[in-house]
Amino acid sequence: MSQLVECVPNFSEGSNKEVIDAISGAITQTPGCMLLDVDAGPSTNRTVYTFVGRPECVVRGALNAAHTAWRLIDMSRHRGEHPRVGALDVCPFIPVRGVSMEDCVLCAQDFGQRLAKELSVPVYLYGEAARMASRRTLPAIRAGEYEGLPEKLKQAEWAPDFGPSTFVPSWGATVTGARKFLIAFNVNLLATKEQAHRIALNLREQGRGKEQPGRLKKVQGIGWYLEEKNLAQVSMNLLDFEVTGLHMVYEETCKEAQELSLPVVGSQLVGLVPLQALLDAAAFYCHRENLFVLEEEHWIRLVVSRLGLDSLAPFNPKERVIEYLVPDNPAQSLLDSSLRNFVHEVGARSAAPGGGSVAAAAGAMGAALACMAGQMTYGRRCFEHLDAAMRRLIPPFHKAVAQLASLVDADAQAFAACLEAMKLPRNTPEEGERRAAALQEGLRQAVEVPLSLAETVSLLWPMLQELALCGNLACRSDLQVAAKALETSVFGAYFNVLTNLRDVDDEAFKDQVHRRISSLLQEAKTQAAQVLDSLEARQA
């Protein structure tokens, strides 16, 4: 898995296109950096950049952007709605893939130290990189903002983590750190700035102070007015969307607005958003409204509609969802190849893809056929009495298609890991031990992939039995093929497990897995036969 860090520098310029583009250019011209998003706000006079790359690359990209801003931004002339302390107000580093939070802390420390040295400006550490509890949150460091910096820097407790305790009028100060993925989410109101801020105070975790905390955990908030849009916003940062999600923030804002008789007119996401945050919101609305939605694309469309994410500008998921911009796929994924190419690869003179990948593909096809039969039953007037049953039966097959398809690549990768372990040197006892350990780990993974396949199929048999009894009879042959394809996939898993178990040293593990895969194979034989019998009986 490649290492990927996200960097989201916020620069205090939101109107001057030449400056905004120059900073973008500094990032894109840095080797190894991929600029994903540039979100400029005239009223806030602030631009949020989002880019990704390897740890050392994003640090260099952020420094290059900072040097450009040093030449072009003069903080002494800056005015804007958003709180800020400097030309490069904040520069967080966020783990995306193959890196830990500690890795991002090291990025922040490296960036902060080098920025302070190269530009002679004060730099503070916050979030997971903070060296003292009082500096963990941005609002604490921003208190007093840019205008209050001259006096703040004179106080010993606010000496910067890097750089001089000297006020630099053209720059101010910079805050850098490491954090989880933050979602900047604004809810639009036809209201005044004061009314929006009142709602923000009621909702944000900090509330109005220790005596009057707000309702939403891990949420920061402020109210402001966007002159260019002629509306107010409750502007919130979701520090942990797994604690407080987009839907919760939106619905609570709507409740507050309703109490004040204020209309909510959509919302806005600033920068990028994790896919799971949108899927969580979709799940909420599907549950609340008893909706039947299967496809990921439709889930996202539902969220865009319910939250009004396209109220101020078009919302294109391909440009706003980070997983879509930086997919975590193998360089040459078997799933991305055509069926013709996949079959050709299987038939080529190489050991992978082999029986394990083919078994996974067969299982995915079997689940897909069952899903199709369900959908050919659902929503038709003659089968209207089965709609509730189909709503329950179709989703497990739909989910299993993705799970089983992913094992096509996983099996080939597990085999490749075993081969790599075999190639390790064993010239010394130490090298021999490392090789043996790597090989055992590779064999375990090569066992676990097909075992996972069989376990996934095992969960589908009860649904397939029910579908065979009541599904659209025009899909009888499709369900028959589905049953045999799923059974075949378990046969493939069984033989792959036994093959890789032979060289595993852990006897207890071998015995446990052997008993389990044998049980799953016997179940597959029995269940497939029952499905076929049920379908044959309906034919009569």
Catalytic residue list: 82, 411
**Residue with token string 């929503």:** 379
Question: What is the separation, in whole angstroms, between the first and last Cα of the chain?
Answer: 54
Residues 6 or more apart whose Cβ sits within 8 Å of residue 451:
493, 497, 513, 516, 517
Kind and range of the H or E element at 47?
strand 46-53
For residue 212, the one-letter residue type is: Q
Query: Beta strands 174-178 and 231-238: pairing type?
Result: unpaired
97 neighbors 74 (Cβ within 8 angstroms): no
Strand locations in 154-212, DSSP E? 174-178, 183-189
d(CA 213, CA 495) in angstroms, rounded, equals 60
Residues composing the chain: 540
13 neighbors 68 (Cβ within 8 angstroms): no
The DSSP 8-state label assigned to residue 220 in this structure reads E
322 neighbors 6 (Cβ within 8 angstroms): yes
Tokens linked to 530: 């029952």
Long-range contacts of the stretch 331-338 (C-beta < 8 A, 24+): 333/409, 334/408, 334/409, 334/412, 335/405, 335/406, 335/408, 335/409
